[in-house]
Structure 1
């Protein structure tokens, strides 16, 4: 009899232990953060996401459940991303996917997402093909929502606007030099805007794509001076931008320099260039220290306070992915009903670092300013002599005036462009 009672006690204990274990699993929401850990962008994806997770967990989680992050290192390789994402779904039992950076990685991982029907709030993957996948095969790829970054084609369109609508008219100048790296990103940015500028009456006086390991830009600057370019439109995907702007400053090239400079999308860039980036203007898609919403500057300050460095551009949407997920779950009233969550996300209106509203049939970002709300778009910043990065365009975000570099001002005065 005693032995029977002992066995019953053991059996009951086992049931309780199993039940408790299951309860703990159900009391959390596991999110997989897909990111290239060894890259700066990967660091920003992780840090931005983790900041939001910590804030939400400190406030009680989502529907009373804590968020548990699972870091998925994609190593910036499509095959590795697929393998590690599959492992996170099957073994770590993640509920949702966040993050993603490289377009090739995102496109490859979307097939794993589709296979397991996991909602993915993406932060990278600017390739237009990401959205085309959803448009052409909605049922398969409907789980993906682009929280960041802006589609490469739309980024390109916005770049030329700054010259056509602001810099060119401000000084009555039309001569433009196009310069960038010999890679797909720079070519897309510049080729697209070459036509836009020509159609707007601008003259392309110089164009060149250079190897990313270029160390001497003097021949380029000599040709730009010879062609009398008044605006240098640059596009650099990595650290070659630092070498370029240092030599631009040293050569005192008499032309305004503006463009898409990924390295410049952080406050530390000024120090990295030794101050040579002063007066350079750079485009910041969906990010930057400007009051795009009531929350943007709070995020900027919170990130700096926690990590001791500024938030890189992809940290902004990475942070927002967790809050968009929280809003969708709370509005839908479910964590597990994927179809209901998709429909909720398709109709969501959420204020984060920008306002989020997804286009129903593509899950792309709504763009522009509508009814006073800033959706996805870009802010242009200029580096100032004190090392600060100030918003100069569009006007509603401006917190400083655009300034000419002293050597550019002197050249413009000599030519009668300004008095």
Structure 2
């Protein structure tokens, strides 16, 4: 009897051991890609949430084609709630515990700047799919290997597009700037002054406001008195909505140009759908930009009816596809080899465009001003702007 129990126990142990040994084998057969972005807390959370939908759709497509190198791709998702300490914690968990091959994220530039040293030191490539601060990809540009890449708007580049439009559209060349007092707004003001100088233009006014202010009529009155017929804003969607509401109070409607933050629904929710249509903003793509974009939008909206920001979904999708192409080219997920592959990719089909050698050692931005569109809200949807001014823009107009 004791012998039988021993044999049964031993058999159970062998089965148990066999199962335990199979788990690492299964794990080794997967390729993990991390996602670390705000999906719940800050004003940019809907960009992170939409980016997640695109990230997941790309992984689904890869697995439907047999995975990468014959291995299943698994997304490991973390919400950093817009908080730098949480975002740092997530990065450490994704790299040290989950052993991800690469990370897509974050939403907020401040979070990226708080943890860039982690993937750089641990040699894990990151592709920023939303955060726009110029320094994100530039911080380690002089290192032997820079592990930080981006498929998103870049602040200087999108402001160059807005300035080019303003210069072409302005009849008087009286162009003004209004921005919030955050680091983002003041950096935009500095960039815009420099870019307009390249056009030979000095702003007729530069006004600022607090990020929580709701009445900008006094600032706008000064710009109106200065004769401004085009105004460029440096603020997120909620603040730009307040600028529009203040314009409405004054019945003063110069051309208003804003950064891609205006693609967020707070602009429509606060200003109202009709007033929201009075600003033009930068975007890397729109749902009507191409057949591929339209197909992905239709697919994602069917699954997520309230998806707020298609542009970041497209950027999240393309980030995954670029990582997958690099893993294929590197023949595995070794960090230094993967980083080198990203810098030497050939053609990769994305949603925004077909990428032709998107990165190099000197250039870690997959998108530039020539890739960006101007867009606006129409009937509750973001659509591509294609007016006479846009059609008249040339490469020479995009000074930066």
| TM-score class, shorter | 0.7 to 0.9
Asked if the contact 1:266/1:313 (under 8 Å) is kept, the reply is no
CA distance in 1, matches of 2:76, 2:24: 19
CA distance in 2, matches of 1:391, 1:91: 42
- 1:340 matched to 2:337? The reply is yes
Asked if the contact 1:391/1:397 (under 8 Å) is kept, the reply is no
CA distance in 1, matches of 2:69, 2:179: 48
- Aligned to 2:276, the other structure's residue is in SS state coil
CA distance in 1, matches of 2:389, 2:194: 28
Relative to structure 1, the CA distance from residue 153 to residue 300 in structure 2 (aligned partners, 3 Å threshold; closer, same or farther) is same
Alignment partner, residue 365 of structure 2: 365
CA distance in 1, matches of 2:380, 2:10: 73
Q: Deviations over 1:257-302 (max 9, x none)?
A: 222251x214784454222123321122x232342x5522322322
Matches within 5 A, 1:120-199: 120-139=126-145, 142-147=146-151, 149-164=152-167, 166-168=168-170, 172-199=171-198
Asked if the contact 1:232/1:258 (under 8 Å) is kept, the reply is yes
Asked if the contact 1:150/1:376 (under 8 Å) is kept, the reply is no
How many pairs align? 380
Q: CA deviation at 1:211?
A: 0.7
Matches within 5 A, 1:11-410: 12-37=14-39, 38-39=41-42, 40=45, 41-139=47-145, 142-147=146-151, 149-164=152-167, 166-168=168-170, 172-260=171-259, 262=261, 264-266=262-264, 269-270=267-268, 272-274=270-272, 275-284=274-283, 286-291=284-289, 295-308=292-305, 309-332=307-330, 334-348=331-345, 349-352=347-350, 353-356=352-355, 357-368=357-368, 377-384=371-378, 386-393=379-386
Asked if the contact 2:220/2:247 (under 8 Å) is kept, the reply is yes
Asked if the contact 1:35/1:74 (under 8 Å) is kept, the reply is yes
Asked if the contact 2:177/2:206 (under 8 Å) is kept, the reply is yes
Asked if the contact 1:304/1:311 (under 8 Å) is kept, the reply is no
CA distance in 2, matches of 1:346, 1:395: 37
CA distance in 2, matches of 1:8, 1:388: 65
Asked if the contact 2:63/2:72 (under 8 Å) is kept, the reply is yes
TM-score, normalized by length of structure 2? 0.83
Asked if the contact 1:34/1:98 (under 8 Å) is kept, the reply is yes
Q: CA deviation at 1:112?
A: 1.8
Relative to structure 1, the CA distance from residue 61 to residue 103 in structure 2 (aligned partners, 3 Å threshold; closer, same or farther) is same
- Aligned to 1:100, the other structure's residue is in SS state coil
* Higher RCO structure (Cα 8 Å, ≥6 apart): 2
- The runs of 5 or more residues in structure 2 that have no matched partner are 392-400
